[in-house]
């Protein structure tokens, strides 16, 4: 199992999968930040004063990490940041679901609006496991950097 987790092609697939998801997720949020801010506000978790700053900053962090993972640059650091983001997404969606909030996920921007659900928690949880594995075993094939 450990050998599989360290396999260069497995980590390559993880890098590509997480990278594509994060780049796609970032694009719409960057083009319509106010819609993302509205989605964030609906979770009722983030303080009002911090919502816009997060709505401005988070999509770019997703984009930079996504591109770095796809290119194989700073893989370990990018995977660490992505893991933290995914853990936060899982926690946020779980809290909203436990409070029976019927809201847009905001995951891929307002143009692809979809309600939050346990399916999304499972998807993000799966990506989180892949990202943690990438952090632990960052070496893979077709990477521009060494870590």
146 near another protein, rule: CB under 8 A:
no
- Asked whether position 123 contacts another protein by CB under 8 A, the answer is no
Does the protein bind another protein through residue 103 (CB under 8 A)?
yes
CA distance 96 to 29: 20
Q: Among 11, 14, 15, 35, which residue sits at the site for another protein (rule: CB under 8 A)?
A: 35
Ranges within 45-74 binding another protein (CB under 8 A) = 48-49, 51-53, 55-57, 59-61, 63-65, 68, 74
Report the residue number, 1 or 101, with the smaller CB distance to another protein: 101
121 and 97 Cβ atoms separated by less than 8 Å: yes
How far is residue 12 CA from its own chain's centroid?
A: 17
Dihedral, CA of residue 24, residue 25, residue 26 and residue 32, to nearest 10: 110
- Indicate the length of the chain as a whole number: 147
Distance, in Å, from the CA atom of 63 to the CA atom of 1, rounded to the nearest integer, reads 31
1 lies in the binding site for another protein (CB under 8 A):
no
Shortest approach of another protein to residue 73 CB, angstroms? 9
Binding piece for another protein, criterion CB under 8 A, among 15-23, 85-93, 111-119, 121-129: 111-119
């Amino acid at each position: 199992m450990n050998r599989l987790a360290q396999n260069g092609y497995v980590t390559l697939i993880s890098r590509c999968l997480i990278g594509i998801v994060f780049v796609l997720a970032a694009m719409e949020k960057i083009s319509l930040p106010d819609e993302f801010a509205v989605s964030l506000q609906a979770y009722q978790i983030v303080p009002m004063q911090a919502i816009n700053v997060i709505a401005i900053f988070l999509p770019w962090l997703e984009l930079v990490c996504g591109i770095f993972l796809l290119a194989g640059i700073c893989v370990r650091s990018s995977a660490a940041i992505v893991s933290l983001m995914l853990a936060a997404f899982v926690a946020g969606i779980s809290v909203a679901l436990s409070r029976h909030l019927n809201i847009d996920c905001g995951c891929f921007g307002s143009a692809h609006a979809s309600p939050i659900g346990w399916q999304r928690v499972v998807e993000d949880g799966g990506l989180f496991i892949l990202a943690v594995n990438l952090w632990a075993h960052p070496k893979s094939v077709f990477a521009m950097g060494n870590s």
